[in-house]
Amino acid sequence: MNTDLVVVGSGLFGLTVAERAARELGLKVTMIDRRPHLGGNAYSENEERTGIEVHRYGAHLFHTSNERVWEYVNRFTQFTNYVHRVYTRHQGEVYPMPINLGTINQFFRAAYSPGEARELIREQAGELAGTDPQNLNDKGIQLIGRPLYEAFIKHYTGKQWQTDPKDLPASIISRLPVRYTYDNRYFNDTHEGLPVDGYTAWLERMADHPNIDVRLETDFFDDSQEFSKDNVVGQVPVVYTGPVDRYFDYAEGDLSWRTIDLEEEVLDIEDFQGTSVMNYPDEDVPFTRIHEFRHFHPERDYTRDATVIMREFSRFAEKGDEPYYPVNTSEDREKLLAYRDLANGESSVLFGGRLGTYKYLDMHMAIGSALSMVDNKIAPHFTSGAPLTSGGVDA
């Protein structure tokens, strides 16, 4: 087999490993993906009629405070100065999101100062004062009090995860900032922006190296192809970024994932909602949010005759669906521990990325974790013969 390393999956984790292994370590890399394109879920393409860039697997916003990751991604693309802001439409009224002083004052029809708003939320969250909530429901109430939680979080989360918020980890909601100022930026990170000439141009540049052989429409579990699991494991080191349960043929049971159905529509108007993302937190609306892609690139000269919108519906993934988000219930966490043990026993196979570690990873986290895997596992193996045992799943 004329390759030094097989990378399964060409998402940002696989791309980062492949790029570093080829450019920095001089290895010959074969990267396979079962999809007809590279880039994983960050892939985008221009909608045919309008030319508007559409993120095929749901809207992707790049943001990071990790200087190493920022320097690394800037080798492959420049970023626009886009700053993400989200609005949410509750009972016929539009509020700024994440919850900030503007949201609080609009919701309570008030003009509270930051101190007054804090005091109000403290009272409303009083039922959970002094506790350390481990589940999303209690954490949400503790952060913003019950009335705001019930308006903006409870049903949105219910629709998005189809799991009782009491069974979801508190960490999901901790991702969303709550601010006692009028700052309505969605992210707190130092760096933020969108790739100037689109995600796909960025992702393709990462793989553009003579030592990287990309094979699309190639499934790791298809034994008829050269780089299948049966053909390569034990022969060549492998970095696997597909679902960890699938790798072990679901031996410890299925991990639960959430998938999303994206309904795209081209409308013959210039502007549908005046912003890139509108959330729908009410129970009687079946989708969670609507994206309008033209607003991600106000600097581009898009047509004024039409716009592209995408409604996002969330549901549990069945076999055959794309596994997007780990649900991560306590049962899942037990199964994951069992899979980690199995992964520890798998020599010369490293597990990484959102699917391979069953972790909610943003793009910058997937890239950062891939850079660490190269530093800590792959480089020592190829430069000084350190054994390539993962120490399990990259945890």
Buried b (16+ CB within 10 A) or exposed e, 370-390: bbebbeebbbebbeeeeebbb
- Select 20 or 291, whichever has its Cβ closest to ligand UDP: 291
Cα–Cα distances (Å) from 50 to 57, 64, 277, 303, in that order, read: 18, 30, 19, 7
Q: What SS3 state is found at 273?
A: coil
Q: How far is the CB of 41 from ligand FAD (least distance, A)?
A: 4
* CB neighbour class for 296 (10 Å; exposed up to 12, middle 13-18, buried from 19): buried
Tell which residue, 106, 58, 92, has the closest CA to residue 282.
92
Q: How far is the CB of 18 from ligand FAD (least distance, A)?
A: 11
Which listed option, ligand FAD, ligand UDP, none, makes contact with residue 173 (CB within 5 to 8 Å by class)? Answer: ligand UDP
281 binds ligand UDP (CB under 6 A): yes
Taking the C-alpha atoms of residue 30 and residue 89, their distance in angstroms, rounded to an integer, is 46
- Select 60 or 311, whichever has its Cβ closest to ligand FAD: 60
97 binds ligand FAD (CB under 6 A): no
Q: Residue 56: CB partners within 8 Å, gap ≥ 6?
A: 43, 44, 45
Residue 61 · residue 192 · CB < 8 Å? yes
Q: Which stretch binds ligand UDP (CB under 6 A): 76-84, 150-158, 240-248, 383-391?
A: 150-158
382 binds ligand FAD (CB under 6 A): no
Quick one: which of 44, 137, 228, 241 contacts ligand FAD (CB under 6 A)? 241
Q: How far is the CB of 351 from ligand FAD (least distance, A)?
A: 11
Quick one: which of 79, 107, 112, 221 contacts ligand FAD (CB under 6 A)? 221
How distant is the alpha carbon of residue 351 from its chain centre?
17
393 binds ligand FAD (CB under 6 A): no
Residue 100 · residue 183 · CB < 8 Å? yes
Which listed option, ligand UDP, ligand FAD, none, makes contact with residue 219 (CB within 5 to 8 Å by class)? Answer: ligand FAD
Length of the chain: 395
Tell which residue, 253, 285, 306, has the closest CA to residue 159.
285
Taking the C-alpha atoms of residue 191 and residue 168, their distance in angstroms, rounded to an integer, is 29
Quick one: which of 172, 317, 363, 393 contacts ligand UDP (CB under 6 A)? 172
What mask, x for binding ligand FAD by CB under 6 A, covers residues 306 to 345? ------------------x---------------------
Cα–Cα distances (Å) from 305 to 50, 270, 343, in that order, read: 8, 5, 53
Which listed option, ligand UDP, ligand FAD, none, makes contact with residue 8 (CB within 5 to 8 Å by class)? Answer: ligand FAD
- Select 169 or 243, whichever has its Cβ closest to ligand FAD: 243
Q: How far is the CB of 116 from ligand UDP (least distance, A)?
A: 24
13 binds ligand FAD (CB under 6 A): yes
**Is it true that the peptide bond before 36 is cis, omega within 30 degrees of 0?**
no
Interface contacts to ligand FAD, rule CB under 6 A: 8-14, 32-35, 40-42, 57-62, 219-221, 241-242, 260, 324, 353-355, 361-364, 366
Interface contacts to ligand UDP, rule CB under 6 A: 88, 97, 152-153, 156-157, 160, 172-173, 175-176, 279, 281
Residues annotated as catalytic (active site), given as ranges: 175, 179, 258, 289, 312, 360, 362
